[in-house]
Each structure stands twice: as structure tokens, then as C-alpha cells.
Structure 1
Amino acid sequence: MTDLDKGYPGNGGDGPRPEVRSMPFFPGPTGQAQVPPPAPGAPLSAPPLVPAQTVSGRHSQQQEAEGRITIDDEVIEKIATLAAMEVNGVATLAGRIEAGEDGRLGTGPGGRGVRVHMHENTVSLDLGLIVEYGSVIMEVAKAVQGNVARVAGLMLGMRVIAVNVSVEDVQMPAESRSQESGQG
């Protein structure tokens, strides 16, 4: 059954929107109030700063050590890939193949499905998507933008200033392909 059969409008009008698959839970430090995630379509912002924690009734000053912290682009690419794949209607990322024999996401011959641009404490991402046939492409792309920005911002502790989505192809959903190949 395609998304059109499920009640998704074919003309981009009002109707059911793609939902994000089971969302990972990113807990904050213990004993602090959790901030709810922003609504889809809300402006992107930096995650809240974490105040000094209370230890045994007194404030502990967080020690800052000298040195630098680096996050490889491949780590950011993987976070963005996993966040994009959580959105219903995303078949895969362009140039990305599914998890290989070693369980790691690999890069296909078409290049990477995610490109990372970092500047100081901000990051912008370019994603190439392949959307499932029958999905409303604009709604899937907007859901991907929101989910990737939210998850990357939370996990990296950096401000995500842009998530540029390019829909590069459409393919049949995985369930339909596996049913068709079994009927021959």
C-alpha cells in the first residue's frame, strides 16, 4: 500500500504528515529539568547551556582543561544520516548504502549523502535524499530538516545553522520491493 493509498494527498494539500520513527532519547544531566524539543518548522537554535551541577548540597565548579576537542566530519555525517533515516518516507540517502557486513554505514559510488560545513561553533549540512514513492516530497524534506537539525544540535552541542535537503530520486518502498520479489 502506498502513502497515497493511506490518505496522503498527492497535491501537497493538508493531510497526514510523515512522522518521525522512534526517536532516541537524549537525557540531560541528572537532576535537571528536560527541555522539550522544538516543534517541527520552528527556527533552529543552539541547545541550552548546562549550569554547574550540585554535588552533595554545594555547587561544584566544572574544571576546564586545556586542549581542543575535534569531531570528525564522518561522525557528523553518520549522526545526520541516522537522523534522516528516522523519518518516514526516506528510502535512503543518495550515494549512501545500507549498513555493511561490519554494521557500519558505507559510501556508495555516487559519493556521500551528507556533506558537512563547519565554522567555529556552528555547522551546516547538505543532504541528498532518495524518497519513497507515494510520499509527499516537500513534507518528507521538511521533516528531515527538522529532525537532522534537532538531533545534530543535541548530540554535537553546536548550533545547526542550515540543513539543505536535495531530493535526488524516488524509489519504491522496501516492503513493496520485497513482496514483489517474493511473488515470482
Structure 2
Amino acid sequence: MPDTMSNRATETGQAATVPRARTHEGSPGTVLVTERGTTRIEDVVVAKIAGLAAREVSGVHAMGGGAARAFGSMRGMVGVEESVTQGVSVEVGERQAAVDLDLVMEYGMAIPELAGAVRKIVINAVERMCGLEVTEVNIRVDDVHLPEEDRDRESDRSRRQDTEPEPRVQ
């Protein structure tokens, strides 16, 4: 069976530039089957690609719901980096993927424009890198980041440093 082309390209009558491999549901990821072998794409790979792409958009301050961000900041205090998949959920099928994102936006951004930009970059990244058609990118704006929050956090941090005792040298 030959590789299939993007449905959108054939529906519009345009030749698709990137041939799509046939995919079969695999457990736990998706398997791309070509004449020369198979490639398995795990769900976490699609989630990481979507998360990194969404973070590239100007106006996205953070990702994840309130509890996930709080847990992430606690992890940051002990030196563990924020998870790239925080705020990202994916559902990967045979040939398609759906992405759900929880975002914290910067104050002053227009939500419809921000959501459109995030959708566009996430769809492009996942389709280009994985060969899957992204059927939907659902975005939930969970919070708005205010500029004062950074100033308050910095002043709290400097106050803590001023009150901490100097370490003793023995």
C-alpha cells in the first residue's frame, strides 16, 4: 500500500509536498509504516513538541493549571527544571493528533490573537515533525500574568536574602 498524502492537499486539488506515511495504532505510541520500516512516535514526543512550540509564542507566560504551576515552582526550588509537557495533553490516533493546552498569558495580549498564533505554531510543528494531521488544538487560558507579580516576587526574594543569616566559616 503506498504512502498517503495529506487529506487537505487532495481536497483542495493541490499537490502535497510532504508524503504522509501510513500509520497504525501502536501501544503506547503511534507507528508510522513505510516500505522501508516502521517508526513509533510516543505520545510524550508529540506533547513535548506541542509544549515547546506553544512556549515560543510571544505572550505565553507559562503553561499549566494553577496546581501544576505550583507543583512546578516547588520542583524549581529544589533544582528540577519545569516539565516541557506541563499544561499539555495529547491524544494520538492512527493518522491524527489532538492537543489540549493550558496557558497563562501576559496581560495586555488579545486572547483570540494569542490562541490563533499558538494553534498555528503547534499545528505546524507537530505536522512537520511527526507527519500526523493535527485535527484540533484546544486552548484554555487559565490565568493572566500581571507585570506587578514579577516585581512582588523580586522584592520578596531580596527581603529573604537580607534576613537570612550569613553562613559560618569554621
How high is the TM-score relative to the length of structure 2?
0.59
1:89 to 59, 75, 78: 59
CA separation of 1:120 and 1:180: change in aligned 2, threshold 3 A: closer
Identity across the alignment (%): 36
Give the secondary structure class of the aligned counterpart of 1:105: coil
1:105 to 75, 78, 83: 83
Compute the displacement of 1:104 (Å).
Answer: 6.5
Compute the displacement of 1:180 (Å).
Answer: 6.6
1:122 to 88, 92, 96: 96
Q: 2:128 aligns to what?
A: 154
1:1-150 correspondence runs (5 A): 48-49=18-19, 64-66=35-37, 68-94=38-64, 95=68, 97=72, 101=79, 105=83, 112-150=86-124
Compute the displacement of 1:102 (Å).
Answer: 5.9
Compute the displacement of 1:178 (Å).
Answer: 5.1
One-letter identity of the residue aligned with 2:18: P
How high is the TM-score relative to the length of structure 1?
0.55
TM-superposition CA deviations, 1:74-128 (whole Å, max 9, x none): 1111111110000011011113548964656266xxxx41111112111111111
> Which one has the largest radius of gyration?
2
Output the CA distance in 1 between the equivalents of 2:112 and 2:132. Answer: 26
Instruction: Give yes or no for contact 2:98–2:135 (8 Å, CA) kept in 1.
Output: yes
CA RMSD between the two structures: 3.1
Number of residue pairs the alignment of both structures matches: 121
Give the secondary structure class of the aligned counterpart of 1:167: strand
Give the secondary structure class of the aligned counterpart of 1:125: strand
Output the CA distance in 1 between the equivalents of 2:56 and 2:84. Answer: 17
- Bigger relative contact order, structure 1 or 2, given CA contacts below 8 A and separation 6+? 1
Q: 1:164 aligns to what?
A: 138
Output the CA distance in 2 between the equivalents of 1:173 and 1:157. Answer: 39
Between Structure 1 and Structure 2, the one with more helix by share is 2
Q: 1:33 aligns to what?
A: none
CA separation of 1:91 and 1:65: change in aligned 2, threshold 3 A: same
Output the CA distance in 1 between the equivalents of 2:128 and 2:105. Answer: 25
